[in-house]
């Protein structure tokens, strides 16, 4: 008596089941690695927040218009 190992291999998977498992794992890794685009989104949010801070500083009179423009170019706008 083989206790279930004769037809399906280890844990009942067999070669086909093992390949399906590997494919599922690779798809999951690909999906989660695809979220690295969020780093770009974070950069954009940071850039927008920097511009908001510059706008606030200009409105409060903390910086001149010339310095505002210089800093704005430095941020990338």
Candidates 32, 35, 10; CA nearest to 21 is: 10
Name the residue with tokens 């801070």. 53
Residue 72's domain spans which residues? Answer: 49-77
On whether residue 37 sits in a domain, the answer given is no
Q: What is the pLDDT of residue 44?
A: 79
Distance, in Å, from the CA atom of 30 to the CA atom of 19, rounded to the nearest integer, reads 16
On whether residue 63 sits in a domain, the answer given is yes
Q: Which residues of the chain have pLDDT under 50?
A: 1
Q: How many domains does the chain have?
A: 1
On whether residue 12 sits in a domain, the answer given is no
Distance, in Å, from the CA atom of 54 to the CA atom of 72, rounded to the nearest integer, reads 8
On whether residue 38 sits in a domain, the answer given is no
Q: What is the pLDDT of residue 1?
A: 45
């Amino acid at each position: 008596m083989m206790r279930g190992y004769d037809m399906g291999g280890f844990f009942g998977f067999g070669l086909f089941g093992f390949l399906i498992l590997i494919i599922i794992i690779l798809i999951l890794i690909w999906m989660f690695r695809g979220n690295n685009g969020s780093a770009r989104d974070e950069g954009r949010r940071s850039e927008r927040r920097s511009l908001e801070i510059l706008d606030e500083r200009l409105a409060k009179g903390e910086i001149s218009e010339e310095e505002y423009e210089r800093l704005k170019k430095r941020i990338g706008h």
